[in-house]
Structure 1
Amino acid sequence: MDANKIEEKAGLLRKSMDMIELGIGEAQVMMQLGNHLQNLEAEKHKLRSQVKRLCQEN
Protein backbone atom coordinates (compact mmCIF):
# COMPACT_ATOMS: atom_id res chain seq x y z
CA MET A 1 0.00 0.00 0.00
CA ASP A 2 1.23 3.43 -0.78
CA ALA A 3 0.97 6.42 1.55
CA ASN A 4 -2.02 7.91 -0.30
CA LYS A 5 -4.13 4.78 0.16
CA ILE A 6 -3.22 4.58 3.84
CA GLU A 7 -4.06 8.26 4.32
CA GLU A 8 -7.35 7.80 2.47
CA LYS A 9 -8.32 4.83 4.65
CA ALA A 10 -7.30 6.71 7.79
CA GLY A 11 -9.52 9.60 6.74
CA LEU A 12 -12.46 7.26 6.15
CA LEU A 13 -11.89 5.65 9.54
CA ARG A 14 -11.78 9.06 11.23
CA LYS A 15 -15.02 10.03 9.51
CA SER A 16 -16.63 6.75 10.57
CA MET A 17 -15.48 7.28 14.16
CA ASP A 18 -16.92 10.80 14.14
CA MET A 19 -20.26 9.49 12.87
CA ILE A 20 -20.30 6.75 15.51
CA GLU A 21 -19.52 9.26 18.27
CA LEU A 22 -22.26 11.55 17.00
CA GLY A 23 -24.72 8.64 16.97
CA ILE A 24 -23.78 7.69 20.52
CA GLY A 25 -24.19 11.29 21.66
CA GLU A 26 -27.62 11.51 20.02
CA ALA A 27 -28.66 8.22 21.61
CA GLN A 28 -27.62 9.52 25.03
CA VAL A 29 -29.69 12.67 24.51
CA MET A 30 -32.69 10.56 23.48
CA MET A 31 -32.32 8.37 26.57
CA GLN A 32 -32.13 11.43 28.83
CA LEU A 33 -35.17 12.91 27.12
CA GLY A 34 -37.07 9.64 27.58
CA ASN A 35 -36.17 9.56 31.27
CA HIS A 36 -37.23 13.18 31.66
CA LEU A 37 -40.58 12.53 29.98
CA GLN A 38 -41.12 9.48 32.20
CA ASN A 39 -40.44 11.60 35.28
CA LEU A 40 -42.88 14.25 34.06
CA GLU A 41 -45.58 11.62 33.54
CA ALA A 42 -44.98 10.21 37.03
CA GLU A 43 -45.19 13.70 38.54
CA LYS A 44 -48.39 14.42 36.60
CA HIS A 45 -49.94 11.18 37.85
CA LYS A 46 -48.91 11.99 41.44
CA LEU A 47 -50.40 15.48 41.21
CA ARG A 48 -53.67 14.15 39.76
CA SER A 49 -53.90 11.68 42.64
CA GLN A 50 -53.35 14.50 45.13
CA VAL A 51 -56.05 16.61 43.47
CA LYS A 52 -58.50 13.68 43.62
CA ARG A 53 -57.71 13.12 47.30
CA LEU A 54 -58.13 16.81 48.11
CA CYS A 55 -61.44 16.97 46.25
CA GLN A 56 -62.72 13.93 48.16
CA GLU A 57 -61.72 15.50 51.49
CA ASN A 58 -63.76 18.63 50.76
Structure 2
Amino acid sequence: MLEHNTLKDVLKDLYDLSEGSNFMTDGKPSTIEDIQDLYHERIINVIDLLGYESIYLDEK
Protein backbone atom coordinates (compact mmCIF):
# COMPACT_ATOMS: atom_id res chain seq x y z
CA MET A 1 0.00 0.00 0.00
CA LEU A 2 1.27 3.43 -0.94
CA GLU A 3 1.10 5.70 2.09
CA HIS A 4 1.65 9.44 1.94
CA ASN A 5 3.02 11.49 4.82
CA THR A 6 1.04 14.66 4.19
CA LEU A 7 -2.62 15.34 3.57
CA LYS A 8 -1.71 17.46 0.54
CA ASP A 9 0.15 14.54 -1.08
CA VAL A 10 -2.66 12.04 -0.61
CA LEU A 11 -5.29 14.54 -1.80
CA LYS A 12 -3.21 15.26 -4.91
CA ASP A 13 -2.96 11.51 -5.53
CA LEU A 14 -6.74 11.13 -5.15
CA TYR A 15 -7.26 14.04 -7.52
CA ASP A 16 -4.91 12.48 -10.08
CA LEU A 17 -6.77 9.17 -9.78
CA SER A 18 -10.07 10.94 -10.39
CA GLU A 19 -8.67 12.44 -13.61
CA GLY A 20 -7.34 9.12 -14.88
CA SER A 21 -8.73 6.68 -17.41
CA ASN A 22 -7.72 3.35 -18.90
CA PHE A 23 -6.54 1.92 -15.57
CA MET A 24 -4.48 -1.24 -15.83
CA THR A 25 -3.82 -3.89 -13.17
CA ASP A 26 -1.19 -6.53 -13.85
CA GLY A 27 -1.29 -5.63 -17.55
CA LYS A 28 -5.07 -6.07 -17.84
CA PRO A 29 -7.87 -3.51 -17.74
CA SER A 30 -8.78 -2.76 -14.13
CA THR A 31 -12.07 -3.90 -12.70
CA ILE A 32 -14.33 -1.66 -10.67
CA GLU A 33 -13.09 -3.50 -7.59
CA ASP A 34 -9.46 -2.73 -8.51
CA ILE A 35 -10.24 0.97 -8.78
CA GLN A 36 -12.26 0.91 -5.56
CA ASP A 37 -9.22 -0.60 -3.82
CA LEU A 38 -7.03 2.26 -5.08
CA TYR A 39 -9.45 4.83 -3.67
CA HIS A 40 -10.01 2.88 -0.44
CA GLU A 41 -6.28 2.78 0.36
CA ARG A 42 -5.96 6.51 -0.12
CA ILE A 43 -9.11 7.31 1.86
CA ILE A 44 -7.76 5.22 4.76
CA ASN A 45 -4.52 7.22 4.44
CA VAL A 46 -6.49 10.50 4.73
CA ILE A 47 -8.40 9.18 7.74
CA ASP A 48 -5.14 8.17 9.43
CA LEU A 49 -3.50 11.54 8.72
CA LEU A 50 -6.50 13.31 10.27
CA GLY A 51 -6.40 11.03 13.33
CA TYR A 52 -9.89 9.56 12.84
CA GLU A 53 -8.97 5.87 12.72
CA SER A 54 -12.07 5.13 14.78
CA ILE A 55 -14.12 5.64 11.58
CA TYR A 56 -12.94 2.31 10.21
CA LEU A 57 -11.80 0.63 13.43
CA ASP A 58 -15.29 0.92 14.99
CA GLU A 59 -16.74 -0.98 12.01
CA LYS A 60 -14.96 -4.17 13.03
Q: TM-score range by the shorter chain?
A: 0.3 to 0.5
Structure exhibiting the larger radius of gyration computed from Cα positions: 1
- Judging by fraction of residues, say which structure has more helix: 1
**Greater RCO (CA < 8 Å, at least 6 residues apart):** 2
Q: TM-score, normalising length from structure 2?
A: 0.34
User: Larger % of strand: which?
Assistant: 2
